[in-house]
Structure 1
Amino acid sequence: MSDLEIGEQIVAIEDAPEGEDVIQLLPLDAWHRARGGRMVPFAGYEMPVQYEGIMAEHLWTRQSAGLFDVSHMGQLVFTYGDDETGDTDAVAKALEAVLPGDVTGLKQGRMRYSLLLAEDGGILDDLMVTRRTVDGTDEVYMVVNGATKYDDIGYLLEVLPDDVTMNLQDEQALLAVQGPKAVDALARLVPGVEALVFMTAGAFDWNGTPLWISRSGYTGEDGFEISIPAEVAAAFADAICAEPEVKPIGLGARDSLRLEAGLPLYGHDLDPETTPVMADLGFALSKRRREAGDFAGAGRILAERENGPATKRVGLVVAGRQPVREGATVVDADGATIGRVTSGGFAPTLGAPIGMAFVPTALATPGTVLRLSQRGKFHEATVAAMPFVPHNYVRQSKTTGA
C-alpha cells in the first residue's frame, strides 16, 4: 500500500468550515515548510499532511514518538463573574445544560471527554473539558475541534448565562507529542510530566515559559497535549524534535492513527444528525446526568439508550487490500442502501483496510458480514470491535503508583 493510496483518505477531511473564505496560518507554518511539510487546507488552516511519508510517520509514532501541530483546535476558557477566584461550580453547572457529562464533579486537574449537544440531542461537536487553576484563577478549560470552533463559540454565547465569561485563547499554540516514547522525550525538557496519568493535566514551566500539559491525545498511544504561547512554539518544537525519539508527523498519519484507535472524527463520523447513542459514545453520558435527565436532548437520548437506536456506529475490517472510503454505502442483498461508511483507509499497523460505518442496529454485532458498494464495485466487510489497535494509555503513575 503506497503513501499515495493512504493519503487519499485525507482528501475527505480537507474541507474548510462553511463561511471561512480566508485560509489561516498556524503559528508554526514556516517551521513546517522548512522541514518539508506538504501543506494542505484543513479546517480553515494550512496544515502539514506529511513530511517523509504517511506510512513511515504512522509506524514511527506507534513505535517511538511524533510531534503533531494541532493549533487549529479551539482553546476556550470559561470563568464566572468578575471575581478573580472564579466560581467553577457555577461555570460547570451552566455548561452541563449542553454537555451530558459530569462537569461539576470534575476535580482540579482532571479532564473529561464530552459532547456539545443541540436541543434535539444531535452532536454539534466533541471536546475535552478540564477544571483547572491558572495564576490563582479557577476556570474551566475546553478544547474543541478546529472546523467547528467558531460555530461552537456562537452557540455557547447563546445558551450560557451572562455571568459566564468565555475567552478564545488564540494566542496559544497547541502541540501533541504522541507515542510510547513520548514521556521519555518530554520529561527531559519538562521534568515532572511523567507523574501525570491519562486524562489528568497540570501547569508546568519550560525555560521560563508557562505550559499547560495534559496526558491525552488522538492516536490511541500514550502522549501529551501542550498548550504553549504561540511566540515560543517554534523554539519548543525545535527542542522536542531534537530528542532522538521524536519526529514531526502530519495530518495523514494523524488520521490513520485515530482510525486504528477507533476514534471518531467530527464532521465525518459525528454530526448534528447523530446522537451519542447512535455514535456508540454512551460512556460520555455520566450516571448522575442520566438519572437527572437535565441535558440537551435528554428525552431522545435516554429513550435510545433504553430501546436502542435505529442505527449505530461500528468498525469494519474490509476484505482484500482495497480501502473503502467515506461515502461508500452499506447495501443489502438486493443492492438497496441500508447504511453508510463515514471513515475508511488502510491501517498500516494491521496491514489491512478498515473503516467506520453507520448500520442498522440489528447488524451492529461484531462478526456480522456486510456488503459495501463503492464506485460501482462491491466489497465484503466484517463488523469488528473497536479499537482496531489496543489503546496504550497510562492510567497509573509509575513514579507514584497513584
Structure 2
Amino acid sequence: MTGGKGERVSDLLRLGLHDLHVELGGKMVPFAGYEMPVQYGLGVMKEHLHTRAAAGLFDVSHMGQVILRPKGTYEETARAFEALMPVDVLGLAEGRQRYGLFTNETGGILDDLMFANRGDHLFVVVNAACKVADVAHMVAHLSATTEVVAITDRALLALQGPKAEEALARLVPQVMAMRFMDVAVVDTLFGALWISRSGYTGEDGFEISVPDGGVEGLARALLAMDEVEAIGLGARDSLRLEAGLCLYGHDIDESTSPVEAGLTWAIQKARRAGGTRAGGFPGATRILHELAEGPERLRVGLRPEGRAPMREGVDLFAPDDTPIGRVTSGGFGPSVEAPVAMGYVARAHAEIGTPLQGEVRGKKLPLTVAAMPFNPTTYKR
C-alpha cells in the first residue's frame, strides 16, 4: 500500500464508517486515495500497546475484495490463478487462506495479497493502492476460465490482539474453533460475515468482510466491549513493522523479488525446482535462480543503537563506509521500547549480528542486522 502524497482531500474517497471515525475523534489523513484515520484520542503509542495487550479494531475497507468465480470447474480457475504467482493455489484446502504475490516477467512483485479457497470459488484481498491494477491484471489473465468480480458493497474490519477471540466470540461463537488462516462464512445479525483468522499485526485476530448495511452495527457492538479500542493507521504501521511484515510500495515493489524480500516461505515446494508444478509463473527464471544461488541483496531487520529511529530512505553503509543498502521502513517500536527498521543490504552483510552504519542528517550512526519479527507473533496455530 502506498501513502497519500499529493492527494487533495476533495479527491479522496470516504469509508462507509467515515462519520463514526470522526465521532470517535479520528484524525483523518489521505492514504491510498481515501480519507483514513491515522489515530484517535489515545494516540499512536497507546493504540499500539492496547492492541498488543487486548484488542484493536481497524477499518481496512480501502482494501480490494475480489471474488474469482469459475465459469467451469474450480480447478480450472485455481490453475489459472496459480499461473500468476509462485504460490501453490491448487494445493490450498477448502476453508483455508494463503499469502500470495503477483509477480512480473522480471520477477518483481506487482502486489502481495491474501486468497482463500471457499469451496466453489476463490476470495482475494488486495492492497488498496493496487486494486484497480490488480483487478485489471486478473481480468486480463483469468477471463477464459473465471468471472472476476470486484466487491463494492462490503466493508472490511480487522480485530487484532490477544483478546480478539474473546470479543468476537460474543457475537460470533463459531470463531473459537478457527485457527490461523482458517476462513468461514457465518450468518449473523449484521449479515453474512466472511471471516479469516489472520491480520497484519503479528497478533492473533480476525479480518471480517461485512455487508455495508451491517458494518456500523458490528463496529459499534465491538467498540462497546471493554477490550476493544479503535486503532488508526499509525499504530497499524508500527505493529506490522515490529512483526517484520512488508508494506507494499515501500519494502516490496516491482523491482524486488520474493527471494530478495525474504518471502521464500510463501513459495511452496510444488512451485520450486523439482516440484510437481515448478515454474510456469511470471519471472520464474529469476526467482528460481535466486532460490538456487541466492540473491544479490536481502531484506533484513535492523536495530539502530540509541533511541532515535532510522526511517525509510536512510542510506546504509558497511563499517568501512562502503554503500550497501537502504532502509525501507523504520520507526520506534512501542512494544520493544526501541527503534526498529528493515531494509535491503548486500548479501555479504545480511547475517544477523552484522554491524552497519546508517546516515542520518549527514552523520553515520551505528545499527545492527537483527532477526525478525522484533516482537514475537501470537498466531493461534
Normalised by the size of structure 1, how large is the TM-score? 0.91
Matched, 1:88 2:74: yes
Q: Which residue of the partner structure matches residue 352 of structure 1?
A: 338
Does the CA-based 8 Å contact 2:328-2:342 persist in structure 1? yes
CA distance in 1, matches of 2:363, 2:10: 36
For 2:140, which of 158, 164, 170 is the aligned residue?
A: 158
Matched, 1:310 2:300: no
CA apart distance, 1:240: 0.6
Matched, 1:214 2:203: no
CA deviation map 1:267-287 (0-9, x unaligned): 000000000100000011111
Q: Which residue of the partner structure matches residue 341 of structure 1?
A: 327
- Trace 1:66-105 onto structure 2 (pairs within 5 A): 66-81=56-71, 87-105=73-91
CA apart distance, 1:23: 1.0
CA distance in 1, matches of 2:251, 2:213: 34
CA distance in 2, matches of 1:161, 1:154: 10
CA distance in 2, matches of 1:20, 1:126: 27
Matched, 1:241 2:199: no
The 3 A distance-change label for structure 1 pair 279 and 208 is closer
CA distance in 2, matches of 1:152, 1:174: 18
CA distance in 1, matches of 2:167, 2:314: 41
CA apart distance, 1:243: 1.1
| 3-state DSSP of counterpart to 1:30 | helix
CA distance in 1, matches of 2:290, 2:95: 33
Matched, 1:172 2:172: no
CA distance in 1, matches of 2:6, 2:180: 31
| 3-state DSSP of counterpart to 1:387 | coil
CA distance in 2, matches of 1:29, 1:376: 42
| 3-state DSSP of counterpart to 2:173 | coil
For 1:107, which of 89, 93, 108 is the aligned residue?
A: 93
| 3-state DSSP of counterpart to 2:327 | strand
For 1:146, which of 128, 153, 170 is the aligned residue?
A: 128
CA deviation map 1:38-90 (0-9, x unaligned): 00000110000000200000000000000000001000110121xxxx52211
| 3-state DSSP of counterpart to 2:291 | helix
CA distance in 1, matches of 2:7, 2:223: 34
Q: Which residue of the partner structure matches residue 189 of structure 1?
A: 171
Does the CA-based 8 Å contact 2:78-2:90 persist in structure 1? yes
| 3-state DSSP of counterpart to 2:367 | strand
Aligned residue-pair number: 376
| 3-state DSSP of counterpart to 1:192 | helix
Normalised by the size of structure 2, how large is the TM-score? 0.95
CA apart distance, 1:296: 1.3
CA distance in 2, matches of 1:17, 1:173: 26
CA apart distance, 1:20: 12
For 1:56, which of 46, 56, 69 is the aligned residue?
A: 46
Which structure 1 segments of 5+ residues have no match? 1-11, 396-402
CA distance in 2, matches of 1:283, 1:246: 32
CA deviation map 1:88-123 (0-9, x unaligned): 211110011112111111111101011011112110
| 3-state DSSP of counterpart to 2:121 | strand
CA deviation map 1:247-275 (0-9, x unaligned): 10000000000000000100000000000
The one-letter code matched in structure 1 to 2:196 is S
CA distance in 1, matches of 2:144, 2:10: 31
CA distance in 2, matches of 1:183, 1:270: 31
| 3-state DSSP of counterpart to 2:86 | coil
The one-letter code matched in structure 1 to 2:49 is L
- Structure 1 residue ranges (4+ consecutive) displaced by more than 3 angstroms after TM superposition: 16-21, 332-336
Over the matched positions of the two proteins, sequence identity in percent amounts to 53
CA apart distance, 1:157: 2.1
Which structure 2 segments of 5+ residues have no match? none
Q: Which residue of the partner structure matches residue 6 of structure 1?
A: none
Q: Which residue of the partner structure matches residue 182 of structure 2?
A: 200
For 1:366, which of 345, 352, 365 is the aligned residue?
A: 352
CA deviation map 1:287-346 (0-9, x unaligned): 111122221111110111111101000000110100010011102345443201000000
Matched, 1:40 2:33: no
CA distance in 1, matches of 2:12, 2:360: 32
For 2:19, which of 5, 21, 30 is the aligned residue?
A: 30
CA distance in 1, matches of 2:22, 2:7: 26
CA distance in 2, matches of 1:244, 1:55: 19
The 3 A distance-change label for structure 1 pair 125 and 97 is same
CA distance in 2, matches of 1:106, 1:214: 14
CA distance in 2, matches of 1:97, 1:13: 26
The 3 A distance-change label for structure 1 pair 114 and 318 is same
Matched, 1:299 2:289: no
Deviates more, 1:203-212 or 1:18-27: 18-27
